């Protein structure tokens, strides 16, 4: 793993010691803890950043990611909802909320989020692949293949898109 995350945490601790209301330091320390698989510590830091500024979109987004890592998908969706409310143009928030809905097997809702991510960022190969996977789960193999084709067009080295397209072709 690249990066000195423990060293970074020490620096964020120093920044917080100087200013206990420094939102970015809590958010960044949370990301470093996330990288070290300390999801509970990360969530605590993101929550503190949100407490300091309830309009801090990154806090909700990052806490949603940490909740997803813990498989707390309902909590993650709530955080992504708030992140999207604060920044409706955040394609990654739609993608990640779609992933959480997908894990809950709410494929139709996941597809809606992936479609919104694609609307906001038409060259988002990952969003096409994720939407294709959700289509696959609904038995919509032709639609899935179309999405995998688009993902491969955008990123010709995207292994997952090739693999999932092959699986879809098996079921045609």
Question: pLDDT tens-digit profile of 71-85?
Answer: 999 999 999 999 999
Contacts 24+ apart (CB under 8 A), 28-35: 30/62, 30/63, 30/66, 31/62, 32/5, 32/6, 32/8, 33/5, 33/9, 34/62, 34/65, 34/66, 34/69, 35/1, 35/3, 35/5
98 and 82 fall within a common domain = no
Q: In sequence order, which residues have a C-beta less than 8 Å from that of residue 119 and are 6 or more positions away?
A: none
pLDDT band, very low/low/confident/very high, at 23 (cuts 50, 70, 90): very high
Q: How does pLDDT run across 98-107, given as a tens digit for each residue?
A: 999 999 999 9
**Domain stops at, among 32, 64, 88:** 88
* Model confidence, pTM: 0.93
Query: Domain range holding 39?
Result: 1-88
């Amino acid at each position: 793993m690249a990066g000195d995350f423990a060293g970074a945490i020490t620096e964020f601790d120093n920044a917080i010691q100087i200013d206990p209301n420094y939102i970015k330091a809590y958010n960044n320390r949370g990301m470093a803890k996330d990288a070290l698989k300390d999801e509970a510590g990360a969530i605590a830091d993101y929550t503190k950043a949100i407490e300091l500024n309830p309009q801090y979109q990154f806090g909700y987004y990052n806490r949603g990611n940490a909740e997803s890592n813990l498989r707390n998908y309902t909590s993650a969706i709530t955080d992504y909802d708030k992140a999207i409310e604060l920044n409706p143009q955040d394609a990654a928030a739609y993608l990640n909320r779609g992933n959480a809905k997908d894990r809950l097997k709410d494929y139709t809702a996941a597809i809606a989020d992936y479609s919104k991510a694609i609307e906001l960022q038409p060259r988002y190969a990952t969003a096409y692949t994720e939407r294709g996977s959700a289509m696959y789960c609904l038995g919509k193999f032709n639609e899935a293949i179309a999405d995998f084709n688009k993902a491969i067009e955008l990123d010709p080295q995207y292994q997952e898109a090739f693999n999932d397209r092959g699986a879809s072709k098996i079921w045609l």
